[in-house]
Amino acid sequence: MATAPDELTILDIPIHNVTMTEAIDTLRRFLDEPVPRQVCFVNADVANKAYRDREYRQTLQQAAFSLADGIGLKLAGKLLGRDIKQNVNRTDLFPQLCEALEGSGHGIYLLGAKPGVPELVRDRMLERFPGLRISGTQHGYFNEEEEPGVIDRIARSGASLLLVAFGAPRQDLWIRTHLEATGVRVGIGVGGLFDFYSGRMARSPQWMREMGMEWLYRLYQEPGRMWKRYGIGNALFLYRVIKEKYLGGVPS
């Protein structure tokens, strides 16, 4: 019989097994504490990349909080006899976290995506949550010479929460390297989140999300880019989970 432990490990990646409400409560607590913390979302694609990338895997292992994102993790939990309590995906968590931070004084810095996209996200979220504080925005198309200035602007913004939309693994590796210098209390890699909340990309219908089929809608939207990730990647991930269950381990 499957159990639902508070923590579990999938492909050598620690997962904090929480509900969406518990995740929001934990993030609020982190923001009220002075210790800088990295938070990661782990989905099948992330796990596949970390499987062969030791540095990336170590980054996920050292994160303060790792959340199970997507139907692939729920299926993996079932295969391992360890139920994932809820699909705590970044796209659903973001507006709930914004609502929880209204009037709190904690500012959010939006970093990543194409020029103009973070500003669209800012405007849409402030319209939806007038009491929210957006401390600053910066697109992700900056070079190595410009990076110190980007980090300095984040630090001077006074933001408590940094959302980085560079895609995996770059976003999580970047946060691990620069978290302390940015002066924020929580840094989270959010992948393509900004594209959804800027209006550049539509989300799947609610019924598809509830059935864990949002990946299928993404495949429909961008078949040329997503077929390998979802068609091959998901199958490879589950194969590796089954292999771990019966043979153990991932490459060192």
Span 147-192, pLDDT tens digits: 999 999 999 999 999 999 999 999 999 999 999 999 999 999 999 9
Q: Please check whether residue 1 lies inside any domain of the structure.
A: no
User: CA 214 to CA 233: how far, in whole Å?
Assistant: 15
Q: Please check whether residue 137 lies inside any domain of the structure.
A: yes
Based on its alpha-carbon atoms, the radius of gyration of the chain, rounded to whole angstroms, reads 18
Given a contact cutoff of 8 angstroms between Cβ atoms, the answer to whether 93 and 23 are in contact is yes
Q: Is the peptide bond before 5 cis (omega within 30 degrees of 0)?
A: no
Q: Please check whether residue 9 lies inside any domain of the structure.
A: no
Q: Please check whether residue 6 lies inside any domain of the structure.
A: no
Residue 224 tokens, joined: 């040329």
Q: Please check whether residue 65 lies inside any domain of the structure.
A: yes
Asked if pLDDT for residue 241 goes beyond 60, the answer is yes
Number of compact structural domains in the chain: 1
Given a contact cutoff of 8 angstroms between Cβ atoms, the answer to whether 65 and 186 are in contact is no
Higher model confidence: residue 203 or residue 199?
Answer: 199
3-state class of 162 per DSSP? Answer: strand
Span 114-143, pLDDT tens digits: 999 999 999 999 999 999 999 999 999 999
Q: Are strands 13-16 and 7-10 parallel, antiparallel or unpaired?
A: antiparallel
- pLDDT band of residue 227 (cuts 50, 70, 90) is low
- pLDDT at residue 2 in the model: 65
User: CA 106 to CA 30: how far, in whole Å?
Assistant: 11
Phi and psi, residue 9, nearest 5°: -125, 130
3-state class of 71 per DSSP? Answer: helix
User: CA 62 to CA 69: how far, in whole Å?
Assistant: 18
Q: Please check whether residue 44 lies inside any domain of the structure.
A: yes
pTM for this model (two decimals): 0.93
Cα 155 from chain centroid (whole Å)? 21
Element (H, E) at 65: strand 65-68
Given a contact cutoff of 8 angstroms between Cβ atoms, the answer to whether 142 and 150 are in contact is yes
Given a contact cutoff of 8 angstroms between Cβ atoms, the answer to whether 24 and 16 are in contact is no
Q: Please check whether residue 58 lies inside any domain of the structure.
A: yes
Asked if pLDDT for residue 208 goes beyond 70, the answer is no
Q: Please check whether residue 252 lies inside any domain of the structure.
A: no
- pLDDT at residue 224 in the model: 67
Q: How many CB atoms lie within 10 A of CB 14?
A: 17
Domain span at 89:
16-247
Span 10-24, pLDDT tens digits: 999 999 999 999 999
